[in-house]
Amino acid sequence: MTAKVAFVTGGAQGIGEAISKRLAKDGFAVAVADLNVQTASKVAQDIEDAGGKAIAVALNVADREAFSKAVDEVADELGGFNVIVNNAGLGPTTPIDSITPELFDKVMHVNVAGTMWGIQAAVRKFHELKHGGKIINATSQAGVVGNPNLMLYSSTKFAIRGLTQVAARDLAKEGITANAYAPGIVKTPMMMDIAHQVGKNAGKDDEWGMQTFAKDIALGRLSEPEDVAAAVSFLAGPDSNYITGQTIIVDGGMQFH
């Protein structure tokens, strides 16, 4: 039997890399999609070296046509298409007065439009292959409650929760589920940069910046990318078949809902 196929955007580093490797371990053939195809190729090679199946895909998620083409190519090369993980995103630090139209357009196109294009491409492919599938979108604990200095990022992540719920309503009758995962404070390059910028804006150091986000984690430690990948593994697998429209918060107990 051909392994199920998962398509992971932003799969070349951080949370995306951990998701790609975890889904491969779960038995998926994985398309590691990223703007940086060289780094994506290394992740794919790591998966192959560990006995899994993976390919690297160059993709700018903000490009609707390119996204659709990439999904077609992956389905052809890997022999199917079952799960899309819309993980790619930008997280600039944005005090209110710092947001420009250019930055707004850039972040909205990657985070929100990129997720929407991924949903469209996946649904089209599920229809063509005549089966259901799973759509898994990256939001954030900053998309559950507004975070300081992250007006632009938080607003995109709130939007992703909304479009996930609409997709779940619209697609349920077709056997397609749509859910989201909301990471907390994860040890990734993007989070370290956010902490640096927040500390810098306040005239403080990086550790101070990190603690503005991390001080309320009930479990008392920052998240590893693998913590988030474990939740995505659940959403991608059969144990979540009766779950749709939900956001699973993976933040060590920062937000309770």
User: CA 195, CA 200: separation in Å to the nearest integer?
Assistant: 8
Q: Which CATH number belongs to the domain containing residue 155 in this structure? A: 3.40.50.720
Q: Would you say residue 203 lies in a domain?
A: no
Q: Would you say residue 256 lies in a domain?
A: no
To the query of whether residue 153 is one of the catalytic residues in this protein, the response is yes
Number of domains in the chain: 1
- Residue 1 scores a pLDDT above 50: no
Whether the Cβ atoms of residue 119 and residue 135 lie closer than 8 Å to each other: yes
User: CA 143, CA 141: separation in Å to the nearest integer?
Assistant: 5
Domain ranges, residue 168:
5-188+220-250
User: CA 98, CA 86: separation in Å to the nearest integer?
Assistant: 27
Q: What is the mean pLDDT of residues 42-71?
A: 98
Point out the catalytic residue in the list 67, 153, 181, 213: 153
Q: What is the pLDDT of residues 173-191, one digit of tens each?
A: 999 999 999 999 887 777 7
Q: Would you say residue 45 lies in a domain?
A: yes
User: CA 25, CA 20: separation in Å to the nearest integer?
Assistant: 9
pLDDT of residue 3: 67
Q: Would you say residue 214 lies in a domain?
A: no
Q: What is the pLDDT of residues 9-40, one digit of tens each?
A: 999 999 999 999 999 999 999 999 999 999 99
Q: Would you say residue 211 lies in a domain?
A: no
Q: What is the mean pLDDT of residues 237-249?
A: 97
User: CA 81, CA 66: separation in Å to the nearest integer?
Assistant: 17
DSSP code for 124: H
Q: What is the mean pLDDT of residues 224-241?
A: 97
User: CA 241, CA 103: separation in Å to the nearest integer?
Assistant: 38
* DSSP state string for 155-218: HHHHHHHHHHHHHHHHHGGGTEEEEEEEE-SB-SHHHHHHHHHHHHHTT--HHHHHHHHHTT-T
Comparing 103 with 195, the larger pLDDT belongs to 103
pTM: 0.92
User: CA 45, CA 140: separation in Å to the nearest integer?
Assistant: 29
Q: What is the mean pLDDT of residues 207-235?
A: 88
Give the SS3 label for residue 134.
strand
